[in-house]
Amino acid sequence: MILLEILVYGAVQSSVYALLAVGFALVFGVARVVNLFHGSFYTLGAYVTYSLGVEAGFPMVLSILCGMAAAFLLGAVLDRYVVARVRDSMIKVLIVTLALTLFFEQCVYHVFGPEHLNIPPLVGQRVTLLGVDIGGQRLLVLAVSVTVIAVLWFAVNRTRAGNALLATAQNPEAAELMKINTRRIFMVTTGLAGCMAALAGGIVSSFIMVYPKMGILPMIKAFTIVILGGLGSLGGSILAAVIIGYLETIVAFLISADITDLVPLVAIFLTLVLRPNGLFGKRFKV
C-alpha cells in the first residue's frame, strides 16, 4: 500500500520538478546561462494566480495563463536588458540573477506581505488512483506537466524554431551565420523557461505554501536536477527530476518529511564529487 502511495505521490512531485528543471536546462543549454532568477518565475506564477484568481475573481485557468504570460515577458526582458550585459561572466550572471531574486522577493513582500496565502484548487474533489486516495489537483498537475513537457519535446526536436534553438545551443556563432537571430532565441528561451516555471507555480499553488521566499528552494532543486542530468540534455534533466522527486518522496514516507530538503543537497554533492559531469551528461565548458 505504501509502495503505491510512493509511486503516485512521487510521480506528481517528479513532474513538478521536471517542469521547473526543463526550463532551467533549456536556458542553461541554449543561452549558456545559469539563471538563478528561475525560482522567482515560480513565485510570480503563484502570486498572479492569487491576485487575479482569488482577489480579482477571474477564472482560475485564465489567471494561471496570465501568470505564464507575465513570466514570459519578464524572462525576455531579463535576458535582453540584464543577462545580455554580463553573459560572458559566469559569476556575474549568478550574482545578478540571485540579487534580482532577492529584489523580487522584497517586491512581493511589500505588495502582499509575509503571510502564507491560500489558493483554492482547480479540481476540488479527491480521486482514487491505483487504490491511492489523492487530491484531484495533484493528478491535474501530473497531467499538465507531462503534456507540456511532451509538447516542448516535440517543438524542440520536430519544428523549425526548435531546430534554430538546437543550432544555437550547439554553436551560437555558426547559428548566427545561418541567419538565426541568436539574441531573439536567447530571449524566447528565457521567456519560455519562465513561462513553464510560472505554470508550475500556478498549478501547485493550492497545495503548497505561497509566500515571498517560496521560489528559493525550487530554484536550487532545479539547478541540482539540471547539473545531475547533465548540460543541455532535456532527457537527462527529466530523468534526474524523476530521481530527485522519488528520492524525496521515499524519504518523506519512510523516514521523515523534515529531512526531504536534505535529499537533493546530499545527492548533488555526492554526484559532483564522484561524477563531476553529472549522471548522464557531457561537460559544460566554462
Partner 1 sequence: MAVGFLTALVFVPLVTDDPYLIDVLVLANIYAIFSGSWDILSGYTGKENFGHALFIGAGAYGAAYLNLLLGVPPAMNLLLGGLIGVVFGVLIGIPCLPLKGPYLALATVAAAGIAERLIMIFPRYTGGEEGLYGLSPMTSGPVTDYYVSLLLLAVTLLTLMALGYSQRGLILRSIHSDELASEASGIATNRYKLAAFAVSAFFAGMGGAFYAHYQMYTGPTYLTMIMSINVIIMCMAGGLGTIVGPVLGAYMLTISNEFLRSIGDLRVLVYTGVVVLIVLFLPRGIFATLFDYLPQKKGGG
**Minimum distance of partner 1 from residue 65's CB (angstroms):** 29
Candidate segments 178-186, 195-203, 218-226, 235-243, binder of partner 1 by CB under 8 A:
218-226
Transcribe the chain into DSSP letters.
Answer: -HHHHHHHHHHHHHHHHHHHHHHHHHHHHHH----TTHHHHHHHHHHHIIIIIIIS---HHHHHHHHHHHHHHHHHHHIIIIIHHHTT-HHHHHHHHHHHHHHHHHHHHHHH-SSPB----SS-SEEEETTEEEEHHHHHHHHHHHHHHHHHHHHHHHSHHHHHHHHHHH-HHHHHHTT--HHHHHHHHHHHHHHHHHHHHHHHTTTS-B-TTTTHHHHHHHHHHHHHH-TT-HHHHHHHHHHHHHHHHHHHHHT-GGGTTHHHHHHHHHHHHH-TT-SS-PPPP-
Q: Which of residues 93-122 bind partner 1 (CB under 8 A)?
A: 94-96, 98-100, 102-103, 106-107, 110
Told to check if 143 binds partner 1 by CB under 8 A, we report no
Told to check if 255 binds partner 1 by CB under 8 A, we report no
Q: Among 7, 54, 90, 251, which residue sits at the site for partner 1 (rule: CB under 8 A)?
A: 90
Q: Among 82, 123, 134, 250, which residue sits at the site for partner 1 (rule: CB under 8 A)?
A: 82
Told to check if 254 binds partner 1 by CB under 8 A, we report no
Candidate segments 87-95, 175-183, 203-211, 242-250, binder of partner 1 by CB under 8 A:
87-95
Which residues of this protein are in contact with partner 1, per CB under 8 A?
Answer: 28, 34, 82, 85-86, 89-92, 94-96, 98-100, 102-103, 106-107, 110, 216, 220, 223-224, 227, 258-259, 261-262, 265-266, 268-269, 272-273, 276, 284, 286
